[in-house]
Each structure stands twice: as structure tokens, then as C-alpha cells.
A and B are shown apart, each in its own frame.
Chain A
Amino acid sequence: MAEPLLKITNLHAEIAEDGTEILRGLDLELNEGEIHAIMGPNGSGKSTLSKVISGHPAYEVTDGEILFRGESVLDMQPDERARAGIFLAFQYPVEIPGVSVANFMRTAINAKRGEEVDIFDFQEELESRMEMLEMDPAFALRSVNEGFSGGEKKRNEILQLAMLQPELAVMDETDSGLDIDALRIVTAGINRIKEQKKDMAVLLITHYQRMLNYITPDKVHVMVEGRIIRTGGPELALELEERGYDWIREEMAGVA
């Protein structure tokens, strides 16, 4: 097997401000084209992991390594990581008042491609992606995330994913806040993007098995207290749904 797209080894990260350690020796490998799910209790560090992969300045990596296509990203700024092909769909997308979705998307695409996109090509692409996600075209003119409902924000994240076509998509609870129809539309959208860009790898953070009914993961990881403590196939998600996390914790305690 070729080298993994993303290889995380013994990752330790703390909150830069007060030194609280959140990630405590995390290992994870993801190959091109694979879909992995990460599940785990509230506060176990899933969002922290996603932000550390993207280079959020609030966290400091104190030990371990993150290799993306064989190269360390630890010294790279968030924008360099993005241009290298890492994308994060946020659990809580931020509002940018006064900046339209279209303007923001165009600036991001120009930054990623390193050249000005043709405005008409861009418009056409944006419209077709919005249609795929069943978004009202009026959203293109609204300020980024401002006054969006929870579900609209998530849809807007996937719109950005569709436009930017990264190598690695980290999705932090994209399913939460979506109603049943929206979940179907958004997951169908993700699958479409994946069909078009087969080598894109996906790291799905979720609390619920239901998202995995639509997007079948190659692997499911369980994260507890800043570590991956168990990895299995899609059946692991079903088991977690049924039994919760305590049994794994207990098993782990037994092993230790």
C-alpha cells in the first residue's frame, strides 16, 4: 500500500492559553479515497482534533506528528494547509457579516487555485452546486452564515466543500442540526462530490449511526479522552448506537 494521505502519530495537543491537554497520544491513518468515521462522547476532543489538523492557533501540539501526503503540516499556517488540500466543515460555522457567500467563495477559490477564476464559469459552478444541495439561489447574496439556521449553515459548509474539492474533507458533526430531508440531501451531495473526486478522503465526526446509513465508512474509530481507543468496521457504529460507550471504556480498563 502507498503511503497514507493522512498519518497522525502519538498526537498530543493542549489549549495554548492554559496548557490543558486535550489530545493525549492519538493515532490515526487515512488512505486516499477512504471514508472514516470518528465517534465518541461529548468533550472527548473530536472537534479539537479537527481544528488541530487544520492548524487552529488556540491549540499547541506538544508531541507527535501530523503527516499529510508524507509531509508534516505542523509548521504550516491554516491557509497553507487549506491550499494543500485540507478542508474542515465546522461544527459551528462562523458568521462573517457583510461578506456574501458568492464573494467569499470566489476569493477562496482564487486563493486555492492561485489565479482568478472566470466570473461566468464561477457563477455557473456555484449555481449548479447550490442546486445539487437544494439551496435557494438567494443564499449566494446573503452574508456568510449570518442569520442562517443551523441546518442552512451546515449546507453552506458542504457547498464550500463541493466548490473547493479538497483532498481531505474533515466534517465535524455535519449531520447535527439537519432535519431528515436535509440529511438525505446533504449526504447525497457528499456522495456526489465523492463520485466526482474518488480519491478524496473523508473523516466524518458524528454522534449518530443514521448518517452512516447514507455514507458508508470504511472504518469507524472510537475516541475517548483524546485518544482513539478502538477501530472497527461499520458494524462498530451500530454496536455503539445500541450499547453506548461505557462497555468500551470498561473493556479498555480491563485491558489496562
Chain B
Amino acid sequence: MPENDSVAQLGLDEYKYGFKDPENYLFKSRKGLDEEIVRHISAQKNEPEWMLQRRLKALKHAQKRPWPTWGGDLSGLDFDNIYFYIRPSERVGRTWDEVPEDIKNTFERLGIPEQERKFLAGAGAQYESEVVYHSLKEEWEKQGVIFKGMDDGLRDHEDIVREYFGTVVPHQDNLFAAVNTAVWSGGSFVYIPKGVKLDMPLQAYFRINAEAMGQFERTLIIVEEGAEMQYIEGCTAPSYSQDSFHSGVIEIIVKEGGRMRYTTIQNWSHNVYNLVTQRAKVGRNATMEWVDGNLGSKLTMKYPSCYLMGEGARGEILSIAYAGPGQHQDAGGKVVHMAPHTSSRIVSKSISKGSGRSSYRGLLKVEKGAHHVKSNVECDALLLDEEARTDTYPYIEIEEEHASIGHEATVSKIGDEQLFYLMSRGLSEDEAATMVVRGFIEPLVKELPMEYAVEMNKLIQLQMEGSVG
């Protein structure tokens, strides 16, 4: 089917990242998930035996693990109809000139090399199953920072990977973590040495190009004592009639006094199942912040988590979700307080329109012995019309007496009075609605780095065009 036809049929013409490249792949697996494919992936990567064994173990687990019955509707996701591994190119480029022409052009169109020049300490780009580009500015390399594709990370730093891989998100955690562990490919390996403070972010960009593609990146980030860094990921895909599947696992360890912020701006086309597990273990007096922007995808189920393991640790989860017609954003966050004097904050803002549905799903747990915990959860939902839907599933488990826990949830509908007020000043109905929505998410957007705040506002505006009336 010609691209334009399929795009028009899906009614996704407002999605401006929907262009695609011809497929000139080195290898494309057959569809489906089985041992042969897992062994093939491992062999292609020349992996150590222990990693193959991990994969096979995880595969066994995935094959007998029941599918979740909560969250979104997964009935349209059929593993037999997904390509679990596509190798687009020979090797990882260190400069953009080493990246195959088509793929390079795609990332140019997405503005990645430009962002890299302007404000990033390093950038990585993954295309289908493999990292095609990875680069870190020299000044950081000199200070011992490691920022590589995960495959290279495993090859060059096997001892570190072996020590931490699967310790934050074990494969038994959930079905999709098991699948990821079995077929993982790509993602980033990041190591920030003790005391090193990156003042510019690292960014990874994920692109799916093929139809019915499965992308399973695996990221491992270690922030040593007193180190600081910001990591940003973005993602897009063309629109197809057959659904794709993205299921990453992100494991983060922030050691004593370290600081880490992980920002996601997820803008998959509306035919991607986005089922991601992101989790951080946070040490003594360390801080972990998740900023999670979910704008695209057909269904997202994603709950960034902080395990506050050291005394004085802090976790923050800021989540923005936009569910347009046909989309379901099941997002939220999870914080487990495992040590005394730990604190956390979850702020979630969701917007739903038409048949779109957003859910806040959160877990706040205070374990026995974690006294003097402070936590605040705030979730606000904005509905743009009568049809739109939102649900809140806050789970709170407190096993310790001295805890100060706040929880607040609001649902509001974009008001006729608000729209009339703005329109009576000359704003069109779309402009008025966009303004109300921007105001609604403003408290979160202003916490983003400037470039991403601008991007987020632009994306919201694109989504809002033609949204009311």
C-alpha cells in the first residue's frame, strides 16, 4: 500500500513523523518469537555465553507467563505477527557520515544532529533493532564517562554489565521485561564516574521504520557517587495499518549523593504498542527524577519507578499524557520507600479527547522501617469533550506509622466558560482550547529543559489542531 493511502486511511495525517525509508536491511528475522530467533540474535552479536543463557531463561519465562489482564487492551498485539529482530546496518557510526545515507537523512529530518551540535553532551540513535550512531563529546570521554550502544557496552565493559544487568528489572518482573530480556537489542550503556557532573544532557533517539516491527532496546545507566546527569529519549515511527511493538527496559542505579533525570518524549505513531519498564534504584541522599511525556502510540503502559533504598533518597515522577482519538495512555509511576527519611513526589497530568482514554496508575509503598517518609501524589486529568475518558488507579500501601502522605486527584472538563472567555478576546476555538491545555500542563512543562519545553508545546499544539467543535 502506498504510504500516503495508509496514512490517510488511518486519519493520522496530522502526525508529521510518519515518513518512511525503503528497507535495505542486512537481516530481517521472520515473524514470531521462539528459541531459534533468540539464538540467532545472540549469535549475530557474538555475545558471551552467559548472556545467551540469560536470554533463553527469560524466553522460557515469557512463554509460560500469562498476559496481564489489567491496563490496556492488548488483544490486538500478536507476537506471531511481529518481526523481533531487524539489523539495518553493519556497525555503529561514530560520526553521522558513517551512518547509511537513508538512515542518516531520516535522523536529519528529525533534527537529531542539529540538537546534538547545539546542546547535547552526546547522542545515540537507534534504528529498528540496532544502534546506528553513538557519540560522546571528547571532554566527557576524557573524564571517564561511558556512553555507548548497549551491545558495545557489553563487549567493552562486560564485567560492569554482568554485575548490574537484570538487577534492577529482573526478567521475572513482568511479561514484557521477560520478552525484552530474551530479545533485547540496542539501547544505551551509560556510566558516569564518581563526582562527574554532566552539564549537558545525553540523548537517545529511537526510530522504528518497518511495519509490524518489534523494538526491544535495553538501557543500563550507572551514576556513581556524587555524579550528576540528564538523559533524554525521543521516539517516532511511520504510520502503518499493521501494529508495531516497542518494549524497552531501562535500568538505572544512582549511588550515594548522585542525581539523575531521565526524560522521555514518546511520540510513536498511533499504531505502536508501547510497553516499557523503567526503574531506578536510588541510594543514600541520591535523587532520581523521571519526566515522562506520552503523546503518541496506540497503547502505552508505562510506570517509571523509583526504589528509594538509601536513607534520604528522593524520587520524583512527572508524567504528562495526551490521549487523542483511538489512543490509550495508561501511565503513572511507582515509588517504593525502603529507607528512612526518603521523600517522593508524583505529579501526573493527562489530557483526553474524543475516544481517547488516559489512566493514571500509581503505586506508593512505604516499607516497614522506612520511618519519616514524605510523599505527595497529585494527578489531574483534563477532558476535552463529553466522549473522552479518564480513570485513576492509585494504590497506596503503608507499613510504617511515621509517614506523611498527601494524595490529590482532580478531573476537569475544558469549560465552555473558559473557551468563551478566550474566544471573546479573539482567539479561535482551537487556539482557545490549546491555550487551556498548555496552561494545564504548564507546571510540568516548565520543568523541562528549554528546548524540550518548546518541543512539547509544539507537539501538543499539533495534536490539538482541529480538536474541538
- A residues at B contact (CB < 8 Å): 51, 54-58, 77-79, 81-83, 87-88, 90, 93-94, 96-99, 104, 107-108, 111-112, 143, 160, 164
Which of A54, A56, A90, A98 lies in contact with B442, CB distance below 8 A?
Answer: A98
Q: Does chain A have a CB within 8 A of B61?
A: no
Which of A90, A104, A112 lies in contact with B435, CB distance below 8 A?
Answer: A104
Say yes or no: B441 contacts A160, CB within 8 Å. Answer: no
Say yes or no: A98 contacts B426, CB within 8 Å. Answer: no
Say yes or no: A111 contacts B424, CB within 8 Å. Answer: no
When each residue 430-444 of chain B gets 1 if its CB lies under 8 Å from chain A and 0 otherwise, what string results? 011001101111110
Q: Does chain A have a CB within 8 A of B23?
A: no
Say yes or no: B421 contacts A164, CB within 8 Å. Answer: no
State the main secondary structure of chain B at its contact with A: helix
Q: Does chain A have a CB within 8 A of B67?
A: no
Say yes or no: B415 contacts A94, CB within 8 Å. Answer: yes
Which of B417, B424, B435, B440 lies in contact with A82, CB distance below 8 A?
Answer: B424
Which of A56, A79, A96, A97 lies in contact with B426, CB distance below 8 A?
Answer: A79
Q: Does chain A have a CB within 8 A of B459?
A: no
Say yes or no: B425 contacts A82, CB within 8 Å. Answer: yes
Nearest-CB distance from B101 to chain A (Å)? 38
Say yes or no: B425 contacts A108, CB within 8 Å. Answer: yes
Q: Which residues of A contact B415 (CB under 8 A)?
A: 94
Which of A83, A143, A164 lies in contact with B439, CB distance below 8 A?
Answer: A143
Nearest-CB distance from A44 to chain B (Å)? 21
Which of A56, A97, A107, A108 lies in contact with B440, CB distance below 8 A?
Answer: A97
Assuming the contacts A57-B416, A57-B420, asked whether A99 and B438 have C-beta atoms less than 8 A apart, the reply is yes
Say yes or no: A98 contacts B423, CB within 8 Å. Answer: no
Say yes or no: B427 contacts A107, CB within 8 Å. Answer: yes
Say yes or no: A107 contacts B435, CB within 8 Å. Answer: yes
Q: Which residues of B contact A143 (CB under 8 A)?
A: 439
Q: Which residues of B contact A94 (CB under 8 A)?
A: 415, 417-418, 420-421
Q: Does chain A have a CB within 8 A of B24?
A: no
Q: Which residues of B contact A107 (CB under 8 A)?
A: 427, 431, 435
Assuming the contacts A58-B416, A96-B421, asked whether A112 and B438 have C-beta atoms less than 8 A apart, the reply is no
Q: Does chain A have a CB within 8 A of B51?
A: no
- The 5 A-B pairs of least Cβ separation, nearest first, read A98-B439, A98-B442, A99-B439, A111-B426, A78-B423
- B residues at A contact (CB < 8 Å): 415-418, 420-429, 431-432, 435-436, 438-443
Assuming the contacts A57-B420, A58-B416, A78-B420, asked whether A96 and B425 have C-beta atoms less than 8 A apart, the reply is no
10 contacts across the A-B interface (CB closer than 8 A): A57-B416, A82-B425, A83-B426, A88-B424, A97-B442, A98-B443, A99-B438, A104-B425, A108-B427, A111-B428
**Which residue of chain A has its CB nearest to the CB of B380?**
A97
**Which residue of chain A has its CB nearest to the CB of B422?**
A96
Q: Which residues of A contact B416 (CB under 8 A)?
A: 57-58
Q: Which residues of B contact A83 (CB under 8 A)?
A: 426
Could you list 9 further interchain pairs (A-B, Cβ under 8 angstroms) beyond the known A96-B422, A111-B428? A56-B420, A77-B423, A77-B428, A78-B423, A94-B417, A94-B421, A98-B438, A98-B440, A107-B435
Assuming the contacts A96-B418, A111-B428, A111-B431, asked whether A82 and B423 have C-beta atoms less than 8 A apart, the reply is yes
Q: Which residues of A contact B428 (CB under 8 A)?
A: 77, 79, 111
Say yes or no: A90 contacts B421, CB within 8 Å. Answer: yes
Max chain A Cβ within 10 angstroms of own Cβ: one of B418, B426, B438: B426
Q: Which residues of B contact A77 (CB under 8 A)?
A: 423, 428-429
Assuming the contacts A98-B442, A99-B439, asked whether A93 and B426 have C-beta atoms less than 8 A apart, the reply is no
CA distance A233 to B418 in the complex (A): 36
CA distance A93 to B421 in the complex (A): 8
CA distance A160 to B442 in the complex (A): 22
Q: Which residues of A contact B435 (CB under 8 A)?
A: 96, 99, 104, 107
CA distance A74 to B197 in the complex (A): 62
Max chain B Cβ within 10 angstroms of own Cβ: one of A56, A87, A96, A98: A98
CA distance A99 to B437 in the complex (A): 9
Q: Which residues of B contact A88 (CB under 8 A)?
A: 424
Q: Which residues of A contact B432 (CB under 8 A)?
A: 79
**Which residue of chain B has its CB nearest to the CB of A86?**
B424
Q: Which residues of A contact B420 (CB under 8 A)?
A: 51, 54, 56-57, 78, 94
CA distance A101 to B439 in the complex (A): 11
CA distance A112 to B426 in the complex (A): 6
Q: Which residues of A contact B418 (CB under 8 A)?
A: 94, 96
Q: Which residues of B contact A108 (CB under 8 A)?
A: 422, 425-427
Nearest-CB distance from B441 to chain A (Å)? 7
Which of B417, B424, B427, B443 lies in contact with A54, CB distance below 8 A?
Answer: B424
Say yes or no: A160 contacts B421, CB within 8 Å. Answer: no
CA distance A98 to B417 in the complex (A): 16
CA distance A51 to B428 in the complex (A): 17
CA distance A209 to B135 in the complex (A): 74
CA distance A240 to B61 in the complex (A): 85
Q: Which residues of A contact B440 (CB under 8 A)?
A: 97-98
Assuming the contacts A98-B441, A98-B442, A99-B435, asked whether A79 and B427 have C-beta atoms less than 8 A apart, the reply is yes
Q: Which residues of B contact A97 (CB under 8 A)?
A: 439-440, 442
CA distance A223 to B442 in the complex (A): 43
CA distance A79 to B421 in the complex (A): 10
Q: Which residues of B contact A160 (CB under 8 A)?
A: 425
Q: Which residues of B contact A58 (CB under 8 A)?
A: 416
Q: Which residues of B contact A56 (CB under 8 A)?
A: 420
Say yes or no: B442 contacts A78, CB within 8 Å. Answer: no
Q: Which residues of A contact B441 (CB under 8 A)?
A: 98
Q: Which residues of B contact A87 (CB under 8 A)?
A: 424
Max chain A Cβ within 10 angstroms of own Cβ: one of B436, B439, B440, B442: B439
CA distance A94 to B341 in the complex (A): 41
CA distance A179 to B282 in the complex (A): 55
Q: Which residues of A contact B426 (CB under 8 A)?
A: 79, 82-83, 108, 111-112, 164
Say yes or no: A111 contacts B425, CB within 8 Å. Answer: yes
Q: Which residues of B contact A54 (CB under 8 A)?
A: 420, 424
Say yes or no: A96 contacts B417, CB within 8 Å. Answer: no
Q: Which residues of B contact A104 (CB under 8 A)?
A: 422, 425, 435
Say yes or no: B423 contacts A96, CB within 8 Å. Answer: no
CA distance A143 to B416 in the complex (A): 18
CA distance A79 to B420 in the complex (A): 8
Assuming the contacts A88-B424, A111-B426, A112-B426, asked whether A96 and B431 have C-beta atoms less than 8 A apart, the reply is no
Max chain A Cβ within 10 angstroms of own Cβ: one of B420, B421, B424, B428: B424
Nearest-CB distance from A184 to chain B (Å)? 26
Say yes or no: A79 contacts B423, CB within 8 Å. Answer: yes
